[in-house]
Amino acid sequence: MRLQLSAEDQAFREEMREFFTTQVPQDIRDTMINHGEITRDQIVRSQQALNAAGLAVPGWPVEWGGKDWTQLQRHIWHEEMQLAGVIPPLAFNASMVGPVIATFGSQEIKERFLPATANLDIWWSQGFSEPDAGSDLASLRTTAVRDGDHYVVNGQKTWTTLGQYGDWIFCLVRTDPDAPKKQMGISFLLIDMKTEGLTVRPIELIDGGHEVNEVFFDNVRVPVENLVGEENKGWTYAKFLLGNERVGIAQVGASQRNLATAKDKAKQMGVFDQYKSRIVDLENQLNALELTALRVAAGSSGDKPHPASSVLKIKGSQLTQAVSDLFVDLEGPAAITSRETRIFLNNRKVSIYGGSNEIQRQIIAGTILGL
């Protein structure tokens, strides 16, 4: 057992810290650190700054811009990025559709999409969830029926995050309604969001903001060459994609940075002593989370998710919410008009998306405890 990072990893950490704190536009980092509204332009500029330095898509195959990093290095990359207030690469591009295309797509589809995806020249949206298929994703009903050189897509997707900015959407669609199991007969299709028959409708959330959407497909014609991999194998690709979501799932760097900001704020307001015990508790829990993330990263072999990944999701989301709760309380009566309260409400989502915490408990009970 050893306390320090290896000299190599320590140097890597310093290199990342140096880059993130000096090479990413300051306005972006200031907005993140001060909990401001992030614009589409800032997300694009941040990713392009990372991509120019080869740091946007480290999880991809090397030939498509990936890095041959260890899990621990990927963890360090992510944490340092968050600590510095850098906007992480758009997950839909960098950790969802990109790796699927790079792993399962044809050479033609790779060349067509991967460089633009890495550089956020194409903004991807995710078309997985449907009104009746949330956690039970395989129940999805959106259909794609082959008609000559096209699929004709009909149905509805929902919870499409930032879909209002999307150029393209990757969708799970049902191509064989008669398949013996509902997981079979699903395909992975790339759809240009400007295609006729596709409409995006905003969903207003409890924080008053607009970040998720419904997407409707009414006889949307999609060229067959936009199919990724094989027809009816989409569930395999979806599972692969969801497995990739685990990098940085605990958001520990962001919570650490937020807690540090909360400390400063409490001091400025002259209420630090009053909140010390709560801050200590949060710091203690964040430390346990960070050390667990390091254990998971150091213990992951290959691309198999560590069984304790669900621990990171559950505790990570709880701490994201708890730190944001602290910000609201620090506002005092001003909380009723504060942006922090809207962020707090918005953060209810983190224990719901990416496999709700109840689903994570099911995973722990079933696959780890054998219950």
Partner 1 sequence: MDFTIDSEQKALVKAVRGLITNVYESSEARREATATDPGFTAWEKLAEMGVLSLPFEATPVEVSLAAEELGKVIAPEPFVEAIVLAGGLIDALGTDEQKKQYLDAVAGGEILPILAWMEPGRRWSADASAVTFADGVLNGVKAPVVQAERADLLLVTAALPEGGTGVFLVEGATAVETTITNDGGRAATVTFGDTPAVQLGEGGDQTAAIEIALNRARIAYAHEALGAMETALTTTVGYLKTRKQFGVTLNTFQALNHRAADMYVALELARSTIMWATIVAADEDTTPEQLATAASHSALQVSVAGSHIGLDSIQLHGGIGMTAEYSVGHYASRLIAIQHLIGDADFHRARLAATVGDHDVFDPIG
C-alpha neighbours within 13 Å on the C-beta side of residue 292: 22
Render the burial of 33-50: b for 16+ CB within 10 Å, e for the rest.
eebeeeeeebbbbbbbbb
Contact status: 370 vs partner 1 (CB under 8 A): yes
Write down the least CB distance from residue 297 to partner 1, Å.
9
Question: With binding defined as CB under 8 A, does residue 308 bind partner 1?
Answer: yes
Q: For residue 287, state whether it binds partner 1 (rule: CB under 8 A).
A: yes
Q: Is 230 a catalytic residue?
A: no
Backbone dihedral angles phi then psi of residue 119, each to the nearest 5 degrees: -90, 5
Instruction: Name the one range near partner 1 by CB under 8 A: 134-142, 168-176, 254-262, 336-344.
Output: 254-262
Site for partner 1 contains 345 (CB under 8 A)? no
Q: Smallest distance, Å, CB 311 to partner 1? A: 5
Does 262 interact with partner 1 (rule: CB under 8 A)? no
362 binds partner 1 (CB under 8 A): yes
Task: Give strand pairing partners of 144.
Answer: 153
Residue 5 touches partner 1, criterion: CB under 8 A? yes
By CB under 8 A, residue 276 contacts partner 1? yes
CA 192, 195, 200: angle at the middle one, nearest 5? Answer: 85
- 260 near partner 1, rule: CB under 8 A: yes
Here's the x/- map for partner 1, 65-104, by CB under 8 A: it reads as -------x----------x---------------------
Determine if 301 is a binding residue for partner 1 (CB under 8 A).
no
User: In this structure, what token pair is assigned to residue 360?
Assistant: 């994570």
Residue 352 contacts partner 1 per CB under 8 A: no
Q: How many residues bind partner 1 (CB under 8 A)?
A: 49
Name the residue among 338, 292, 344, 297 with its Cα closest to residue 315: 292
Q: Which neighbouring-strand residues pair with 233?
A: 186
SS3 57: coil
**214 near 41, Cβ under 8 Å?**
no
**225-230-236 Cα angle (round to 5):** 130
Contacts of 183 (CB under 8 A, 6+ apart): 138, 235
Active centre residues (catalytic): 245
What does the binding site for partner 1 look like in residue numbers (CB under 8 A)?
A: 1-6, 9, 72, 83, 256-257, 259-260, 263, 267, 272, 276-277, 279-281, 283-292, 294-295, 298-299, 308, 311, 314-315, 358, 360-362, 364-365, 368-371
